[in-house]
Structure 1
Amino acid sequence: MAGGGPACKSHCHGPHRPHVHRSHSVHEDKGLPGPYPIAEDPSTCDIVKATQYGMLERCKELVEAGYDVRQPDKENVTLLHWAAINNRQELVKYYLSKGAVVDQLGGDLNSTPLHWATRQGHLPMVVLLLKCGADPSLIDGEGFSSIHLAVLFQHMPIIAYLIAKGQNIDTTDFNGQTPLMLTVQKAFGPEPMKFLLKFNPSLNAVDNVQKNTALHWAIASGNTSAVDLLLEAGASLDIKNVKLFLVLASSLTFMWAIGYIMDLSSDSWLLKGGLLLSLLFVMSLFVRQLVGLKNLRYLPTAFLLSSVFWMSMTWFFWFLPDTTHTNVILKITVVFSLMGLLYYFYKTWSTDPGYIKTSEEERKENIIALAETGCLDFRTFCTSCLVRKPLRSVHCLACQACVARYDQHSLWTGQCVGIGNHYYYLLFLFFLTMTGVWLLYGTLQYWSNHCAANFHQDGAWMYFAQTVSCSPWVSYISSVTCFHTLWASLWLTVQLYQIVFLGLTSHERMNLLVQRKSSKHPVSLRRTPYNLGCFQNLADFFQCSCFGMFKPNLIDWTKQYKLFHLSKEKNVHSV
């Protein structure tokens, strides 16, 4: 432990605490200074208990009476240790002014006050001790430096602050293990690992005892998520591009094969069903073995592009020969819709959605500034990207980046939608809807020209069966078209409603809906700091003046940290 009993040396059951009776440290769990306990009379407390409870005046009284602040107690623990573990900042300043040694070793684990504060996750105390000259590279009785302890107990803000103040991310412990090696062995879940990888640690460093790299330790510990992350950290971009190409090629082939089977001359739907099941089995094996389950996140994008490709082929080879020479407007409109769809899909996918970018020096400066002002929390700082978070920005888990005025991570484009490409995304939805409508119109024209079924005479079921039998491929593509048209038109409507009437992004609206369900007080979607009225919302989003009637607000949401022109600030962080 940090200063006490030898019985608790495991890192798996929470932070090490000093050997102290519960009555001695009622505020220790929260690490916050609290009021004097009602049952205790400050005048009767010894200096150790007074330090644990933060009784500044009592401590001063005893020190002025001659108590040596450097004198350890019977457990070899100094007053500075007790003040550090209980986050008593004023007492730390006072003891140091009276000659306390900032790096005094004490307790069963021979730890410094900085080690104790780090184990407990007291960032303000860590900041204070470093300012007072504490050495974070010192090793305790278990062989760990401060950064190793912060990693073991997953205190991310402390890790960030120590590195920003110059601590080496590849600092080794007594056994030559780096923080990265400890993380893959001890940490639960992928987040601590992702956090450390942001600091560019060495992936090839080996420890002194086993001569293992972090990857070796991850494999030995059975930490499969860490193995994947380490391989990705050193993976070639070309390999990822090949995987994406394989997903797209398999999707194109799979969609064609479904249509081909449905279009077979055989009337046995049982045979066709068997062939479709066999095809599904073969494709699942292909995806599992060659593409990999992790790359299935690209599947919706590949399905959309494959759908657009076969929808286009169906138009040009099935529907276009049926159109008359007088239907020139229809031909031009369809071609225009397809070109617009592909262009704005590409713009949405390729345009920077508004990633928050900072240099390494700026990151360290922000970490130090936020930590030393007590603002290094998840509302103002992203522990994954190591950046100060502007208003309305959100960290996207899929992209592993913070995005300004984040709307969503689009399932269909495989890209985040933010301030940089939201406009293109709306146009993509519009042209996808328009393309779908014209293709459905072409389907009806094709059926009327080639299928003998009559809806009024034959009834709905007979009409459906005859049209499907008439041209299974056209029926198959029309169902795919109907699906894309439906979701695109509905989502376009929702997007326009949010932009015009609420002035909110999809993420902000969902957060408010969740708050509305859990809050006892009414939460309004329309009364937010970002809703400036329908016309002003439109002018701001599209950055148009509407013939001089409105003046768009020019806001750089990648660097906007305060509401400088809006009056309703109370719900900013909750939105």
Structure 2
Amino acid sequence: MTDAEGYNTLHISTFNGNVLLIVLLLHQGIPVDVLDSYGHTALMWAAYKGFPQCVDVFLRWGASVHLADEHGFTALHWALVKGNPGCVLKLIEYGADRFAKTDTGKTPAVTASELNTQPVWHRALRECGYDIDGHPATPPWPGASYFLKDKRMFATRFLFLWPFVLTWAVIFILSRFPIFLGLPMAGAIVFGVMSCAKQVIEYAPSDMRHLHKTPWMAGIFAGSLFLVGLNWLLVVLPATTRPANGVTETSSHLFLNLVFAALYCLTTFFYAAAMRYDPGFVPKLNGIAEQRAAIDELLKEWKYDEANFCVTCVIRTPLRSKHCRRCQRCVAKHDHHCPWVYNCVGINNHRQFFLYLISLTLGIIAYDWLLYYYFGKISANASETCSVLGADLCRLLNADSYTLILAAWTSLQLVWVTMLVFTQFFQVSRAMTTYENMSGIHLSPPTSRALTSTGAPLDPNLPSLASATDAPGGPGNKNKADGGMLKQWSRMLGVDPFIETIAGRAAATSKNRRKKKNPYSRGCVSNCKDFWCDPAPIFGQRENGSALLGGGKVDYTAMYETPPLMRLTGIRTRGGYEALGAEEV
């Protein structure tokens, strides 16, 4: 059924950017490539309007990127009219013809040039592995064709291992040269290593085009962990177990070495587990029939909204789950996405992540304690002469400068790790996740930011669109809200949750927490028992989504209603629990 302009319900839903209605209509059997009177598909309309989420839904549903309207404009041409980066990028990723010509001979490049969207066009081409002319980009380094057969695997492995070289080189240079030479040389090494990394990132898949979306941070930690273990094994262990002042001192140092070895092994294991374990991905449905059944069930319950349905995974979202944009999956009881383990922290690996933090904290303390005995033993006859530092520090630096700088770098990590441990202890005692602590839970559907309604024919010459470079709420505007580099590092190091919790601005500590009870909390003792006494194996993977809640077993991948036991402690509202706060314990 269409109106006088040839628009059906799918076209009209696309005008408004109503992605939930689009998903519903597609599951009712409406053809995704149905044309209006002008030969436009819904994909063309979504690209023209600048709705990247709608474009993504149509492309995943199988919409053709090669269809052209009556004037020869493809969806890529229309995306360049609006200039939304997400729309252009998605269309190129799905194989849109970069050289398709309209009836007047205009290619996408010409369209972008005429409508002042060339920066968006060039950026999308670059992120998809093409040069500015639309041809596949060829890396200048030798052997590139061999290494880039599998771009994702090569980029992941390289960007994880390359920080090993960076960490060792910087510490080695600083330990071998005077400070006035060492600092500039270390800076030059950092610049060179980062330049190589950026070269690789330019040819990585489009979702790895930023350093924080790669395993770079995980590589920095793993490299530091490797260097500490090597230093302890080859330098510190022999020196602190060699007989010196009697059996008593030797045996105490041997015991401390055994403690450090145990903590080091535990840190390594739990770090690898947090990185490699499935964090608790919510299983996807098998086929269109199951997806339609899930949608029908939500419609019957009046819950078909953004809070209860994920249009990317096409599943009903369980309580406490969240869709991770990095992992591109919904994660059950989502805590946060951690760049240091290059994985989400969810129900399946949260305990391993917490134990990794605890083991790391105790391991650094044990390592520093060992170094106290180590330097006390080897620095007795060391020189007290150096460039800037006092006599005591000069003696340590001259005794073993490499170990001293490595220890300083390692001990520096204790600052942010301690903050994380404190925050995690606090949240576990309140039965909350980091995401809930920082933003609360909103079960009522949020207001859409993409509501523009018009049925006007597509016109690439509209002045209001020719100058537009992004859509409201589109990817191009994210950097305004994300803050600067300091804010990004604050989030990556876990400083934000710590400060918000200490300052009393987090959901668990806000002044309204007693009015909005946490429906998942049964008191500090019970919450800690649920987390730590869970029968799931610590040194193995748990059954996906299974956990304890109030002493009873639950499945967070399929929990759509608050358990009856928890309702006794919560205050129910018409729209659900707006935010989580911990009750008095």
Would you say same fold, with TM above 0.5?
Answer: yes
The 8 Å contact of residues 334 and 433 in structure 2, kept in 1 or not, is answered as yes
Superposed CA deviations along residues 396-454 of structure 1, whole A, max 9, x for unmatched, are: 22222221111111121111100110011011112211221111011111221122499
Quick one: distance in 1 between partners of 2:149 and 2:300?
38
**Which residue is equivalent to 1:556?**
555
The 8 Å contact of residues 50 and 87 in structure 2, kept in 1 or not, is answered as no
CA drift at 1:189? 3.8
CA drift at 1:247? 2.6
CA drift at 1:508? 0.5
The 8 Å contact of residues 498 and 505 in structure 1, kept in 2 or not, is answered as yes
Q: Which amino acid aligns with 1:140?
A: D
**Which residue is equivalent to 2:323?**
395
2:530 equivalent to 1:530: no
CA drift at 1:201? 5.4
Q: Which amino acid aligns with 2:2?
A: D
Matches within 5 A, 1:446-461: 446-452=374-380, 461=390
Q: Which amino acid aligns with 1:287?
A: A
CA drift at 1:137? 5.4
The 8 Å contact of residues 436 and 481 in structure 1, kept in 2 or not, is answered as yes
**RMSD over equivalenced CA pairs, Å:** 4.5
Superposed CA deviations along residues 485-544 of structure 1, whole A, max 9, x for unmatched, are: 3322331222122101x110011001146998699x942178311211112212322354
Equivalenced residues, count: 455
Quick one: distance in 1 between partners of 2:416 and 2:27?
57
Quick one: distance in 1 between partners of 2:236 and 2:578?
53
Classify 1:286/1:463 alpha carbon distance in 2 versus 1 (closer, same or farther; 3 Å). same
Quick one: distance in 1 between partners of 2:342 and 2:435?
17
2:459 equivalent to 1:496: no
CA drift at 1:259? 2.6
The 8 Å contact of residues 98 and 107 in structure 2, kept in 1 or not, is answered as yes
Superposed CA deviations along residues 121-151 of structure 1, whole A, max 9, x for unmatched, are: 5689989999999887553343213453345
CA drift at 1:218? 9.0
**Which residue is equivalent to 2:280?**
354
The 8 Å contact of residues 127 and 371 in structure 1, kept in 2 or not, is answered as no
Pick from 154, 159, 173 the counterpart of residue 261 of structure 1: 173
Classify 1:217/1:244 alpha carbon distance in 2 versus 1 (closer, same or farther; 3 Å). farther
The 8 Å contact of residues 354 and 418 in structure 1, kept in 2 or not, is answered as yes
**Which residue is equivalent to 2:448?**
none
Greater RCO, 1 or 2 (C-alpha within 8 Å, sep 6+): 2
**Which residue is equivalent to 1:276?**
186
Q: Secondary structure at the match of 2:552?
A: coil
Matches within 5 A, 1:249-328: 249-264=161-176, 268-292=178-202, 294-295=210-211, 297-324=214-241, 325-326=250-251, 327-328=253-254
Matches within 5 A, 1:376-391: 376-391=304-319
Pick from 402, 408, 412 the counterpart of residue 473 of structure 1: 402
**Which residue is equivalent to 1:60?**
none
Pick from 41, 49, 73 the counterpart of residue 153 of structure 1: 49
**Which residue is equivalent to 1:26?**
none
**Which residue is equivalent to 2:271?**
345
Quick one: distance in 2 between partners of 1:543 and 1:145?
55
Q: Which amino acid aligns with 1:534?
A: C
CA drift at 1:343? 1.1
Classify 1:260/1:119 alpha carbon distance in 2 versus 1 (closer, same or farther; 3 Å). closer
Pick from 383, 401, 408 the counterpart of residue 336 of structure 2: 408
Pick from 35, 45, 56 the counterpart of residue 139 of structure 1: 35
Pick from 412, 417, 421 the counterpart of residue 349 of structure 2: 421
The 8 Å contact of residues 540 and 554 in structure 1, kept in 2 or not, is answered as no
Quick one: distance in 2 between partners of 1:380 and 1:319?
55
2:364 equivalent to 1:436: yes
Pick from 246, 254, 258 the counterpart of residue 158 of structure 2: 246
What TM-score does the superposition give when structure 2 sets the normalisation length?
0.65
CA drift at 1:171? 8.1
Classify 1:158/1:258 alpha carbon distance in 2 versus 1 (closer, same or farther; 3 Å). closer
Classify 1:480/1:231 alpha carbon distance in 2 versus 1 (closer, same or farther; 3 Å). same
**Which residue is equivalent to 2:393?**
464
Q: Which amino acid aligns with 2:232?
A: W
Quick one: distance in 2 between partners of 1:128 and 1:260?
60
Superposed CA deviations along residues 446-488 of structure 1, whole A, max 9, x for unmatched, are: 221122499xxxxx95423432333211111111221223322
Classify 1:155/1:314 alpha carbon distance in 2 versus 1 (closer, same or farther; 3 Å). closer
The 8 Å contact of residues 50 and 82 in structure 2, kept in 1 or not, is answered as no
Classify 1:302/1:146 alpha carbon distance in 2 versus 1 (closer, same or farther; 3 Å). closer
The 8 Å contact of residues 255 and 306 in structure 1, kept in 2 or not, is answered as yes
Classify 1:533/1:145 alpha carbon distance in 2 versus 1 (closer, same or farther; 3 Å). same
Quick one: distance in 2 between partners of 1:497 and 1:510?
13
CA drift at 1:167? 7.9
The 8 Å contact of residues 436 and 485 in structure 1, kept in 2 or not, is answered as yes
**Which residue is equivalent to 1:86?**
none
What TM-score does the superposition give when structure 1 sets the normalisation length?
0.66
Q: Which amino acid aligns with 2:185?
A: L
Using the TM superposition, name which of 117-126 and 325-334 deviates more. Answer: 117-126
Quick one: distance in 1 between partners of 2:505 and 2:64?
43
2:20 equivalent to 1:103: no
Q: Secondary structure at the match of 1:278?
A: helix
Q: Secondary structure at the match of 1:554?
A: strand
Quick one: distance in 2 between partners of 1:212 and 1:462?
74
Classify 1:516/1:255 alpha carbon distance in 2 versus 1 (closer, same or farther; 3 Å). closer
The 8 Å contact of residues 257 and 370 in structure 2, kept in 1 or not, is answered as no
**Which residue is equivalent to 2:481?**
none
Using the TM superposition, name which of 478-487 and 299-308 deviates more. Answer: 478-487
Q: Which of these two proteins has the greater Rg computed from alpha carbons?
A: 1
Quick one: distance in 1 between partners of 2:200 and 2:59?
40
CA drift at 1:301? 0.8
Using the TM superposition, name which of 255-264 and 443-452 deviates more. Answer: 255-264
Q: Which amino acid aligns with 2:526?
A: Q
Q: Secondary structure at the match of 1:390?
A: coil
2:255 equivalent to 1:329: yes
Q: Secondary structure at the match of 2:330?
A: strand
Q: Secondary structure at the match of 2:67?
A: coil
Quick one: distance in 2 between partners of 1:518 and 1:319?
43
The 8 Å contact of residues 104 and 113 in structure 1, kept in 2 or not, is answered as no
Classify 1:229/1:402 alpha carbon distance in 2 versus 1 (closer, same or farther; 3 Å). farther
Superposed CA deviations along residues 346-402 of structure 1, whole A, max 9, x for unmatched, are: 111111001122134234543565578764432122233333221111122222222
Classify 1:469/1:204 alpha carbon distance in 2 versus 1 (closer, same or farther; 3 Å). same
The 8 Å contact of residues 204 and 213 in structure 1, kept in 2 or not, is answered as no
Q: Unmatched 5+ residue regions in structure 2?
A: 131-135, 137-146, 203-208, 242-249, 383-388, 441-499, 537-547, 581-585
Q: Unmatched 5+ residue regions in structure 1?
A: 1-101, 455-459
CA drift at 1:573? 5.0
Quick one: distance in 2 between partners of 1:129 and 1:323?
71
Classify 1:562/1:203 alpha carbon distance in 2 versus 1 (closer, same or farther; 3 Å). farther
Superposed CA deviations along residues 170-222 of structure 1, whole A, max 9, x for unmatched, are: 5834257665774466452427966x89xx95667986748999999999954
Q: Secondary structure at the match of 1:323?
A: helix
Using the TM superposition, name which of 242-251 and 489-498 deviates more. Answer: 242-251
